[in-house]
A and B are shown apart, each in its own frame.
Chain A
Amino acid sequence: MLNTRALAGAQYRESNIEAFEELVRTYDLKLYRVALRLTGNPDEAKDLAQEALFRAYRAFDKFKMGTSFEKWLFRIASNLYIDKLRKYGKYRFESLDEPIATKDGYVEKTLPDWTGNPEEIAEQNELAEKIQAALQSLPVNYRMAVVLYDLEGFSYEEISGILDCSIGTVRSRIHRGRRLLRKKLAPYVYQETEVGVG
């Protein structure tokens, strides 16, 4: 468990990077994994995780003792990610569910239906790449909720603290995110359920 009191101590105040590194080692891999699943790119994931830790290091005096350091750290990372998305717009930010406004009115978006051609899909990339691509296609709020719950095992309550939203919102985002993933990954999903049923 992180010794936050030690982190706030004199050693940390004197910029003891080794002490900081030792104390946040528990979270570095987890943070990198989340960053990788959010960005889908190892270099950007590394940058995001490093930047989040750097900000945590510099802002540690704002951390409230007795609260969850992990939640605080992941909140920094998720805010940072959203800021970067807004600033650079590298990734998709719009909701797949929302209709697109055009000159002639609103147009509903359609996702490709892969249910009918599993052979063709099987010839494409590896399963992991497909899943990552499907994750990348999610609206950012859904993606963050799904990644934090399904990949990193945070509770709904913890996610509501990290993403600064209600538990009901977390519930809704995870559910919508999974439904979109199911649509994207239909060949694998239905293959799995058939195997499970058989």
Chain B
Amino acid sequence: MIKNMTCEKVRSLLSAYLDRELDYHELRSVELHLIDCPSCQEECRTLRATKDLLGALDSPKLPREFWPELREKINSGSASDSYSRLLVRVLVPVAALLVLAILPLASATHTKASKSLTQARTNLVEPYVREHIISELDRPFSDKTSLGFVAAGQAVTMYSSDFLESYDHSAPHEVVTSSNRAGRRIQAEPFQRVMFLSPK
């Protein structure tokens, strides 16, 4: 829609008007305003003159050394790229091999430490669990199933998975038998199985 614009609005659009970058309605509105507004006409003339003045600037030539220097830059850049590629292709595999070589040693050390820790935990906690289960087994009306679940829950909480994996499953037999309570070995076995999650 073509509107009656104020001088201020028209003046803000004059550069775009000169550049033919207004839409149809804006263009017609500016044109209509300019017909009757000498001050905006003057504004428009001086802006056009400013725009035309810029055309007085000479067009420079490209310096002769422009491309030779750029080629050299690209070449040296490519050289550094090649160096980077060399780093990636040679040094990274070497580093990877070194890591592979070191990893088993580190792992062995870690496993050793892990085993020590597990052993410490076992020494501290296991006797109490064991004694609890064994004492419960002595009671004639104890709920064996429930006790099994309690034992299993305690086992999972107290014994880390690496312990479960590395644990010598023959040990509970020995432990129970070493308690000198005849007949308990048979009763204890189901709970040992639950505790150590390894059915026999």
A residues within 8 Å of B by Cβ?
Answer: 15, 17, 20-21, 28-29, 32-33, 36-37, 42, 46, 49-50, 53-54, 57-58, 127-128, 131-132, 146, 149-151, 155-156, 167, 171, 174-175, 178-179, 181-182, 185, 188-190, 192-193, 196-197
Contacts and interface: CB of A to CB of B under 8 A. Distances in A.
Question: Main SS of chain A's interface residues?
Answer: helix
Interface residues of B, number: 37
Q: Which of A151, A155, A178, A182 neighbours the largest number of chain B CB atoms within 10 Å of its CB?
A: A178
A42 B63 contact: yes
B46 A50 contact: no
Contacts of B46: 182, 189-190, 193
Interface in B31-53: 42, 45-47, 49-53
B196 to A, nearest CB: 58
Contact of A54 (B57, B59, B73): B73
A188 B47 contact: no
B70 A50 contact: yes
Contacts of B62: 28-29, 32
B58 A21 contact: no
Contacts of A196: 45, 49
B54 to A, nearest CB: 5
A113 to B, nearest CB: 14
Nearest to B50: A182
Interface in B59-79: 59-63, 65-67, 69-71, 73-75, 77-78
Contacts of A181: 50, 53-54
A23 to B, nearest CB: 13
Question: Main SS of chain B's interface residues?
Answer: helix
Contact of B16 (A20, A175, A192): A175
Contacts of B81: 15
Contacts of B74: 15, 17, 20, 54, 57
Given A171-B16, A174-B15, A131 B53 contact: yes
14 contacts: A15-B78, A20-B74, A28-B62, A28-B66, A36-B60, A49-B66, A58-B77, A127-B53, A174-B15, A189-B53, A190-B49, A192-B52, A192-B53, A197-B45
B60 A151 contact: no
Nearest to A15: B78
B58 A128 contact: yes
B165 interface: no
B57 A131 contact: yes
B136 interface: no
B138 interface: no
A146 B69 CA distance: 29
A131 B50 CA distance: 10
Contact of B54 (A32, A151, A167): A151
Nearest to A37: B57
Nearest to A174: B15
B8 interface: no
Given A15-B74, A53-B70, A181-B50, 8 more contacts: A54-B73, A128-B57, A131-B54, A171-B15, A178-B51, A181-B53, A182-B46, A196-B49
A185 B45 contact: no
